């Protein structure tokens, strides 16, 4: 394992003649500032990607006026939001109302701390990294609840409840999917999990030992859970425009709204990055041992590819109802993941070669993929039939039958 970025950096600062304590604090502060800076500014490109992807799906061009390819559109929007009036509705709970957008950004930025970008480039390589992710992810729940409660608005409160119900429900399959990874790798550190996914043949690291190849079932369940956690379609019933107007942030304006908006987009990228880290090898790839900077490239390609996939799904799928959301989490994903964990736990202790163990794990994962796809296609087929029927022109006479 490569040394942590801070060691070289602190060494450099000490060589400038700084005392060790000051050098450490300074190095961490600069590293932390860089992380916050990248986290917040990546929203500019992420929102642009979303707009472009969804525009193309809806036969539009999307932003194309401000800057080349409309790249600066988000910056212009940010400037606009900055100059907007900061409205606090009457009778709002001031503390909860004002704290909520701050917490939304706080919870999002804190997740960046444990994402391994390249060998040795990870904010803090915690030995409990994966639990840290899930634990800090729950700040979003608190933030939504505070916004919903604090706004003194029925729609906001209703949306807040829906957010909490959804985030809690999908946190369980997500945690269980992570548990399968931990069971296989024997570590909870994000950097070590990436390190596990190397594939060395004849002394050369191909970097293709991705866990997603071995555990497609866990990957699929985790990916679906990340869609729900980042509140994207088909799980966007929390902000359903036609029912709840906008969601729990309906009463927010100006920069406070911008904070929610930003946090939401970046958090879906963070979950995409976590999918890439846990299941798609993170920064692993060919020649990464020789040229560590390639790791950064591989990682960002993977994370952004999954982000685009998320947006693709967002532009294609219909929204599900709250009962379907609950059904899918508790009656499909949770039992499947519990079953997968039990099978994997037994298989890993079978007295057979590792190759056979892996084959058995793979087969059981394929089963999970099959069941999930089956449930989803069944649902979407019904949805298509229903939609077509409601658009079918009916003859006037046919509908005017006397009551039976």
Partner 1 sequence: MLSQYAFILILSTLALIVPIAAITIGHFLGPRRPDPVKNAVYESGVETIGDTWVQFRAQYYLIGLVFVVFDVEAIFLFPIAVAYKSPEFGLFQVIATLFFILLLVVGLLYDWRKGALEWQ
Partner 2 sequence: MPELPIPSVGQLVFAAVALFTAISGLIVVASPNLFHNALALVATLFGVAGLYILLEAEFLAVSQVLVYVGAIATLITFAIMLTRSMMYGRTSPVNRQWGKAAIFAVLFFAVLLGFVQGIPWVSNMAELPSSQETIVALGMEFVTTYVVAFEVLGLLLLVALVGAVMLARDN
**Smallest gap, in angstroms, from Cβ of residue 169 to partner 2?**
12
CA dihedral 100, 103, 109, 115 (to 10 degrees): -110
Residue 85 partner contact from partner 1, partner 2, none using kind-dependent CB cut-offs of 5 to 8 Å: partner 1
From partner 1, partner 2, none, interface partner of 378 (C-beta below 5 to 8 A by class): none
Is the distance from CB of 368 to CB of 221 less than 8 angstroms?
yes
Query: HSE-up of 336 (CA within 13 Å, CB side)?
Result: 28
Structure tokens at 284: 């692993």
| Among 27, 44, 96, 118, contact with partner 2 (rule: CB under 8 A) | 96
Residues numbered 127-146 forming contacts with partner 1, rule: CB under 8 A: 127, 130-131
**Residues 198-227 contacting partner 1, CB under 8 A:** none
Residues 109-138 as x/- pattern, contact with partner 2 by CB under 8 A: -----------------xxx--xx-xxxxx
Task: Say which entry of partner 2, partner 1, none residue 139 contacts (CB below 5 to 8 A, set by partner kind).
Answer: partner 2
Q: Give the list of residues 6+ apart from residue 74 with CB closer than 8 angstroms, or none.
A: 43, 44, 45, 47, 48
Could you identify the residue written with the tokens 């394929």? 366
From residue 297 to residue 336, the character string flagging contacts with partner 1 as x (rule: CB under 8 A) and all else as - is -------------------------xx--xx--xx--xx-
268 close to 310: Cβ distance less than 8 angstroms: yes
Segment 354 to 373, residues that bind partner 1, using CB under 8 A:
none
Cis amide leading into 234 (omega within 30): yes
The DSSP symbol for 165 reads H
List 121's β-bridge partners, or say none.
Answer: 118
Tell whether residue 169 is a contact of partner 1 (CB under 8 A). Answer: yes
Are 279 and 216 in contact, with CB atoms under 8 Å apart?
no
Contact between 182 and partner 1 (CB under 8 A)? yes
Does 158 bind partner 2 (CB under 8 A)? Our answer is: no
Show the binding pattern over residues 215-234: x = contacts partner 2 (CB under 8 A), - = does not: --------------------
Q: Which stretch binds partner 2 (CB under 8 A): 145-153, 205-213, 248-256, 323-331?
A: 145-153
Q: What SS3 class is residue 204?
A: strand
- 199 vs 192: CA distance, rounded Å: 14
Interstrand relation of 121-122 and 200-201 (parallel, antiparallel or unpaired):
unpaired
Among 115, 178, 188, 336, binds partner 2 (CB under 8 A): 188
Rounded CA-CA distance 51/63 in Å is 7
Closest C-alpha to 279, from 242, 225, 318: 225
Closest CA to 336 of 208, 224, 184: 224
Given candidates 42, 153, 166, 189, which one binds partner 2 under the rule CB under 8 A? 189
- Contact indicator for 124, 114 with CB cutoff of 8 Å: yes
Nearer to partner 2, 57 or 135 (CB): 135
* Euclidean distance between CA atoms 266 and 42, whole angstroms: 7
The one of partner 1, partner 2, none whose footprint includes residue 341, by CB under 5 to 8 A per kind, is partner 1
| Residue 384 sits in the site that holds partner 2 (CB under 8 A) | no
* # of chain residues touching partner 2 (CB under 8 A): 27
Main-chain dihedrals φ then ψ at residue 205, nearest 5 degrees: -85, 105
Which range of residues in 38-46, 184-192, 303-311, 385-393 is near partner 2 by CB under 8 A? 184-192
In the bound state with partner 2, the residue whose beta carbon lies nearer, of 73 and 100, is: 100
Residues near partner 2, by CB under 8 A: 21, 93, 95-96, 99, 126-128, 131-132, 134-139, 141-142, 145-146, 149, 164, 168, 171, 187-189
């Amino acid at each position: 394992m490569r040394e942590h970025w801070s060691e070289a950096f602190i060494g450099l600062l000490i060589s400038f003649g700084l005392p060790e304590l000051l050098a450490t604090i300074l190095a961490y502060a600069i590293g932390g500032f860089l992380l916050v800076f990248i986290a917040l500014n990546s929203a500019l490109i992420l929102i642009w990607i979303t707009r472009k992807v969804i525009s193309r799906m809806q036969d539009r061009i999307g932003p194309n006026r401000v800057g080349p390819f409309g790249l600066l559109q988000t910056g212009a929007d940010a400037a606009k939001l900055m100059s907007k009036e900061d409205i606090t509705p009457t009778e709002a709970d001031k503390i909860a109302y004002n704290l909520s957008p701050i917490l939304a950004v706080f919870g999002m930025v804190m997740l960046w701390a444990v994402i391994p970008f390249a060998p040795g480039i990870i904010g803090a390589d915690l030995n409990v990294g994966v639990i840290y992710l899930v634990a800090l992810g729950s700040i979003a729940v608190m933030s939504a609840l505070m916004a919903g409660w604090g706004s003194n608005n029925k729609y906001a409160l209703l949306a807040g409840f829906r957010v909490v119900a959804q985030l809690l429900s999908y946190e369980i399959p997500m945690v269980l999917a992570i548990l399968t990874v931990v069971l296989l790798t024997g570590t909870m550190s994000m950097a070590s999990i990436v390190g596990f996914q190397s594939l060395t043949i004849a002394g050369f690291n191909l970097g293709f030992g991705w866990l997603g190849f071995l555990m497609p079932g866990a990957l699929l369940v985790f990916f679906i859970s990340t869609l729900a956690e980042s509140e994207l379609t088909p799980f966007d019933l929390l902000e359903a425009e036609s029912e709840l107007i906008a969601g729990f942030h309906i009463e927010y304006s100006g920069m406070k709204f911008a904070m929610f908006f930003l946090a939401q987009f970046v958090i879906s990228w963070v979950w995409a990055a976590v999918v890439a880290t846990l299941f798609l090898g993170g920064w692993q790839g060919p020649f990464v041992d020789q040229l560590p900077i390639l790791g950064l490239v591989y990682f960002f390609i993977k994370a952004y590819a999954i982000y685009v996939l998320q947006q693709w799904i967002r532009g294609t799928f219909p929204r599900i109802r709250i009962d379907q959301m609950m059904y899918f989490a508790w009656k499909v994903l949770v039992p499947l993941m519990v079953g997968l964990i039990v099978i994997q736990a037994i298989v890993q202790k079978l007295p057979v070669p590792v190759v056979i163990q892996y084959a058995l794990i793979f087969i059981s994962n394929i089963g999970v993929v099959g069941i999930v796809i089956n449930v989803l296609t069944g649902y979407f087929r019904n949805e298509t039939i229903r939609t077509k029927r409601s658009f079918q022109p009916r003859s006037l006479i046919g509908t005017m039958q006397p009551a039976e």
